[in-house]
A = this chain, B = another copy of it.
Amino acid sequence: MKPRVMILLGSASDFRIAEKAMEIFEELRIPYDLRVASAHRTHEKVKAIVSESIKEGVEVFIGIAGLSAHLPGMISANTHRPVIGVPVDVKLGGLDALFACSQMPFPAPVATVGVDRGENAAILAAQIIGIGDPEVRDRVSELRRGFYEKVRRDECQVLNSIE
């Protein structure tokens, strides 16, 4: 199945953050692909992956990176598709990566989610895809409902533990 989301990792060590997104995409049955390609190391490759991905029908990009975290911004510079950035905490609590993702100048925005929040990046990607795809939208609703159920069960467990 053709990928609708392309996940790019700045470094193989960021894979643990990508896995959080992948789990959500599995649950929402959204096909995705994944590459490792740092903005600073193999920029030609970033560009190639982006243009190739677009031809294959990728609708949303997710860039996951720590430190200077240029990867999401570089993807944004190479496409008119929306780009989601996940700042990774490598140093300084992830503040460097959070700033690098969010503080992008005009007209190359990066849709930044929280530090290490791969799973929220996936939800956001699904919401974006869901605009034109009611089935995905329904699955996001379902996932959220399920999550609320879990919150409720957690509460019961907590409440039981204190009685």
Which residue numbers of A lie inside 8 Å of B, CB to CB? 9-12, 15, 22, 34-43, 59-60, 66-68, 70, 73-74, 76-78, 80-84, 89, 91-96, 98-117, 119-121, 123-124, 127-132, 137, 140-141, 143-144, 147-148, 151-152, 154-155, 157-159, 162
Contact = CB atoms under 8 A, between A and B. Distances in A.
Nearest to A155: B36
Nearest to A47: B43
14 contacts: A12-B151, A12-B158, A34-B159, A60-B131, A67-B105, A68-B73, A74-B74, A91-B103, A98-B102, A100-B103, A102-B112, A104-B113, A106-B120, A109-B120
Contacts of A104: 40, 67-68, 113-114, 117, 120
Contact of A78 (B43, B76, B95, B107): B43
Contacts of A121: 109
B68 A99 contact: yes
A124 to B, nearest CB: 4
A41 B111 contact: no
A43 B124 contact: no
A78 to B, nearest CB: 7
Copies held by the complex: 8
A109 B131 contact: no
Which 3 pairs between the two chains have the least Cβ-Cβ distance? Answer: A111-B111, A12-B154, A36-B155
Nearest to A132: B132
Contacts of A105: 10-11, 38, 40-41, 66-68, 114, 120
